[in-house]
Amino acid sequence: MKSLLQYGVHVLNHLRKDLRIEWRSRDAINGMLFFALLVVVVFGLTFDPAGYPTTTRQISGGILWVALLFACITALNQSWTREQRNQVLEAQRMAPSPASALFLGKAIANMLFVLVVEAVLAPIFIVFFNLHALGNIWLLALILPLGTWALVVNGTFFAALGLRARNRELLLPLLLLPISLPALLAMVQATTGVLTADLDPIQITTWIKQLVGYDIIFTTICILFFETVLNAE
């Protein structure tokens, strides 16, 4: 019990550090936000969403997640680079705190950044795409965080995995996308189901359950293998 509490304190310390660094620069959030906005605008120009409300409802779940996914990738690439400056990462490897606490702290920090981006982006998205959801919109408050965690937990892990690779920026999407595809399928289906009200509520619940299962499984193996990856040499 005491060791669990201590672990929590370590995670919290890492989280505080990451939040403080981000607060001082605000690079990740600003970059992600503008990038996601650009993707939404590009899709808006290609599809004329205001003219075809039914089609818009069918495709906008996918567009929202694609925009967030690409924005996540741009920010996640940077999240470990910060630790490389001045050999901070080497110091972290020697620190007495467990390696997975470092990982969890950073994953939670990234999660918070993406949630901020979502909170700003969602109203803009609704206005630009003239969206009028037909289903239970409050379900999105469950789907968005679950889907975001699925992207962020694996993304943070693979960003650390590719840290010393050649072509680091290219490697992250190459690894993250194939692993995330089932989660992406679940979150897009659930979101589209809520927007169009075409899906049975039972089906939406099943997609959400799959998402929860995916989150639990991959969070566990990320925590199990992070130390191996951090000290892979």
Partner 1 sequence: MEQRTPTLRNVAWLWFAISVAVLVVGFREAIFLVPTDAAQGDVGRIFYYHVPIAMWSLLFPYLNFAASLAYLYWRNRNPLKALTADAFALASAEVAVVYTSITLITGSIWGRAAWGIWWAWDARLTSLLLLWLLYVSYLMLRRFSSTGQTQTLAAVLSVFAAVDVPIVYMSIRWWRTQHPAPVFGGGPNSGMDPSMLPAFFWNLAGWGIWGIFILLFRFALERRRQLADQEAALQAIEASLEIPQ
Closer residue to partner 1, CB minimum distance, 22 or 83: 83
Minimal distance, residue 232 CB to partner 1, in Å: 4
If one asks whether residue 66 binds partner 1 (CB under 8 A), the answer comes out as no
Which residues 156-215 are close enough to bind partner 1 by CB under 8 A?
Answer: 161-162, 164-167, 170-171, 174-175, 177-179, 181-182, 185-186, 189, 206, 210, 213-214
By CB under 8 A, the residues from 115 to 154 that bind partner 1 are 154
Count of residues near partner 1 by CB under 8 A? 31
Q: Which of residues 2 and 166 has its CB atom nearest to partner 1 in the complex?
A: 166
Shortest distance (Å) from residue 140 CB to partner 1: 20
- Closer residue to partner 1, CB minimum distance, 145 or 182: 182
Nearer to partner 1, 41 or 181 (CB): 181
Which residues neighbour 71 within 8 Å (Cβ) at sequence distance 6 or greater? 32, 33, 35, 36, 39, 114, 117
Query: Counting contacts by CB under 8 A, is residue 229 touching partner 1?
Result: yes
Radius of gyration, CA atoms only, the chain: 18
Query: By the criterion CB under 8 A, which residues form the site for partner 1?
Result: 154, 161-162, 164-167, 170-171, 174-175, 177-179, 181-182, 185-186, 189, 206, 210, 213-214, 217-218, 221, 225, 228-229, 232-233
